[in-house]
A and B are shown apart, each in its own frame.
Chain A
Amino acid sequence: MNVIAKTYQKGEIPGVIAINASVCKGCDACKRHCPTGAITGMFGATHSIDVDLCLSCGQCLVNCPFGAPYETSDAVDTVISKLNDANVTVVGIIAPAVRVAIGEEFGMPAGSLVTGKLYGAMKKAGIEIFDNNFTADLTIMEEGSEFISRARHAVFGEKGENGEPIGPLPQFTSCCPAWVRFVETQYPSLIPHLSSAKSPQQMAGAVAKTYGAKVWGKPAEQIYTIGIMPCTAKKFEASRPEFKSAFEYQTHINKAKSETYADVDVVLTTRDLARLFKKMKIDLAKEQDYTPEILFAEYSGAGTIFGNTGGVMEAAVRTAYAVITGNELTDVEFKPVRGLKGVKSASVTLKDSKYDKEVTINLAVVHGIARNLKPVIDQVLAGTSPYHFIEVMNCPAGCINGGGQPIQKNGSSWIEAIRPWFAWK
């Protein structure tokens, strides 16, 4: 198709998802999962995707009862050729949600936690381990500090250390690439509300090719970073042209000369990684548990729950509480943001040790842009939002149900396939 995409920059993948016209039955199941109404086509006729509206979230792909949507970008063979190249260090950035899903592709029960086996299989394949949970912790440090500075600016009028402008409240999380693209294409007036912190994947790429290059003792251009994500939109995110900060750092500060490289070279979904293992004859289910020694594999429990809805918020609360009050939480589990309710909200009252005053922070967690976001975002646009910090994840239940995860035949695709049969739905 020769479509002129208007909402993509030069170099970006214009839409990761496409629909195979010969498989599509026109059952309309995907339309119920699409957050932006990007799927066009009458009931009964072959559907197609409007790439300008599409967020590349892949919810249509995991929920299609016939398996019609497919990914237009596949890097499995490229990664295998890089693994066979002795001059290249392949670094795998593993997202939290991958460890509870990849076992399903190797015949293990749904939701099996296989961190050790996954590390073992990656070591066998020759992939250096960089756990994205490490950068999830880094994200909390950056995004949490940003939230505290925004909150102190709003409440106490505190100024930035170097006089830099401070963004407005509520602050939105920026980990979910589909959500970021949703704001950029639908509500550009909300861009100042987005946290300026990169997503953990992009932080990982930037750290691996700067600080990581020192740790491994390799030049940055010989490091090949692969994001291993439960997400198809991450493929789009990694292709955004502004994400080459490691290259800029190396050329401007270290005066290194090389061709331009991206922070994250390619992205594999959970399904792609399983395919890569199978091509390399590695059976993850039979692997021995392995614990890597490298510092990038150390992570906290707060980093790992990023894969669940409410996880980023819970992790931020744990750290923000300690930073604002100066005391550690005795019970770190923050239950109000857990569960599958569409919009979860909570209030935390704590004493700011710097100003010696009580502050109340209202939090909200939204998952599933398609169904739950509208009322929350309308409040923010009207300026009546009671919240100060809002987590948004595109996929229902968060990244663990992302568009790159193994497809479950008993999943929502089943019931969504039945619903169009009934006229009243």
Chain B
Amino acid sequence: MSEQDYKYIENPLHITRREFITITGIITAFLALPSIWIRSVATANNDYIKARTKNLYQDDVQSKIRVSHANKSVARYYKEFGGKPLSRLSEELLHTKYINRTKALS
């Protein structure tokens, strides 16, 4: 080994302390960006649910009648056919019974 190989060079890149802090800061910022992106995707993940909810409530606001008992067609159904709520025909057509499925069925 020759003598030259042992030449000591201080700061070969000529970076000042300030420049070093700036560069590491920029690198950290770039590393942090994906986390912001991930967070934005995570918080937007139920946006479509909120949009559907909002527009269904909008359909309610747009409706001329907003209570079920004011629906004239429902009143007509009861007058011409069903009688009244919980009548015998209503029980037959519009009500049901449930089954205990913890016992073997088939």
What chain A residues lie within 8 Å of B59 (beta carbons)? 96, 99-100, 113, 115, 301, 304-305
Once the chains bind, are B96 and A322 in contact (CB under 8 Å)? no
Interface string of A238-264 (1 = CB under 8 A from B): 000011011011000000000000000
Once the chains bind, are B66 and A138 in contact (CB under 8 Å)? no
Q: How many residues on A have C-beta within 8 angstroms of the other chain's C-beta atoms?
A: 91
Whether, in the assembled complex, A308 has its beta carbon less than 8 Å from a beta carbon of chain B, the answer is yes
Give B57-100 interface residues, CB cut-off 8 Å to A: 57-63, 65-74, 76-78, 80-82, 85-86, 88, 90, 92-100
Given contacts A180-B98, A185-B101, A196-B96, contact A397 B69 (CB under 8 A): no
Whether, in the assembled complex, A140 has its beta carbon less than 8 Å from a beta carbon of chain B, the answer is yes
Once the chains bind, are A249 and B99 in contact (CB under 8 Å)? no
Given contacts A196-B96, A301-B63, contact A415 B104 (CB under 8 A): no
Once the chains bind, are A4 and B106 in contact (CB under 8 Å)? yes
Whether, in the assembled complex, A425 has its beta carbon less than 8 Å from a beta carbon of chain B, the answer is no
Segment of B10-18, B19-27, B28-36, B39-47 in the binding face:
B39-47
Once the chains bind, are B99 and A9 in contact (CB under 8 Å)? yes
Whether, in the assembled complex, A137 has its beta carbon less than 8 Å from a beta carbon of chain B, the answer is yes
Indicate which residue in A145, A246, A329, A397 contacts B93 across the interface (CB closer than 8 Å): A246
What chain B residues lie within 8 Å of A109 (beta carbons)? 51
Which A-chain residue is minimally distant from B54 (CB atoms)?
A111
Tally inter-chain residue pairs, CB-CB below 8 A: 219
What chain A residues lie within 8 Å of B7 (beta carbons)? none
Given contacts A10-B106, A198-B94, A397-B53, contact A211 B45 (CB under 8 A): no
Indicate which residue in B52, B73, B96 contacts A110 across the interface (CB closer than 8 Å): B52
Whether, in the assembled complex, B48 has its beta carbon less than 8 Å from a beta carbon of chain A, the answer is yes
What chain A residues lie within 8 Å of B50 (beta carbons)? 111, 340
Give A279-300 interface residues, CB cut-off 8 Å to B: 295-296, 298-300
What chain A residues lie within 8 Å of B72 (beta carbons)? 298
Which B-chain residue is minimally distant from A183 (CB atoms)?
B98
Whether, in the assembled complex, A325 has its beta carbon less than 8 Å from a beta carbon of chain B, the answer is no
Q: How far is the CA of A245 from the CA of B95 in the complex (A)?
A: 10
Once the chains bind, are B95 and A198 in contact (CB under 8 Å)? yes
Once the chains bind, are A134 and B74 in contact (CB under 8 Å)? yes
Whether, in the assembled complex, A346 has its beta carbon less than 8 Å from a beta carbon of chain B, the answer is no
Once the chains bind, are A303 and B71 in contact (CB under 8 Å)? yes
Once the chains bind, are B69 and A298 in contact (CB under 8 Å)? no
Q: How far is the CA of A3 from the CA of B90 in the complex (A)?
A: 38
Given contacts A146-B86, A410-B47, contact A140 B98 (CB under 8 A): no
Once the chains bind, are A211 and B80 in contact (CB under 8 Å)? yes
Q: How far is the CA of A172 from the CA of B49 in the complex (A)?
A: 25
Once the chains bind, are A149 and B98 in contact (CB under 8 Å)? no
Q: How far is the CA of A352 from the CA of B67 in the complex (A)?
A: 19
Q: In whole Å, how far is A308's beta carbon from the nearest beta carbon of chain B?
A: 5
Q: How far is the CA of A323 from the CA of B67 in the complex (A)?
A: 11
Q: How far is the CA of A415 from the CA of B38 in the complex (A)?
A: 9
Whether, in the assembled complex, A376 has its beta carbon less than 8 Å from a beta carbon of chain B, the answer is no
Which B-chain residue is minimally distant from A185 (CB atoms)?
B101
Once the chains bind, are A304 and B60 in contact (CB under 8 Å)? yes
Q: How far is the CA of A302 from the CA of B93 in the complex (A)?
A: 22
What chain A residues lie within 8 Å of B55 (beta carbons)? 100, 111-113
What chain B residues lie within 8 Å of A387 (beta carbons)? none
Whether, in the assembled complex, A357 has its beta carbon less than 8 Å from a beta carbon of chain B, the answer is no
What chain B residues lie within 8 Å of A171 (beta carbons)? none
Given contacts A185-B101, A319-B68, A411-B45, contact A206 B94 (CB under 8 A): yes
Q: How far is the CA of A112 from the CA of B70 in the complex (A)?
A: 27
Whether, in the assembled complex, A207 has its beta carbon less than 8 Å from a beta carbon of chain B, the answer is yes
The listed residue with most A CB atoms (<10 A of its CB), out of B56, B88, B92, is B56
The listed residue with most B CB atoms (<10 A of its CB), out of A180, A181, A302, is A302
Q: Which 5 A-B pairs have the closest CB atoms?
A: A111-B51, A301-B60, A301-B63, A301-B66, A110-B48
Seen from chain A, the residues whose Cβ lies within 8 Å of a Cβ on chain B are: 4-10, 96-97, 99-101, 104, 109-113, 115, 134, 136-138, 140-142, 144-146, 149, 161-162, 180-181, 183-186, 188, 191, 194, 196-198, 202-203, 206-207, 210-211, 214, 242-243, 245-246, 248-249, 295-296, 298-305, 307-308, 311, 315, 318-319, 322-323, 328-329, 332, 338, 340, 396-398, 400-401, 408, 410-412, 414-415
A-B contact pairs, 15 of them (CB 8 A): A9-B99, A99-B59, A101-B52, A113-B55, A138-B74, A142-B86, A185-B102, A188-B102, A191-B98, A242-B96, A300-B65, A301-B66, A303-B68, A340-B46, A415-B41
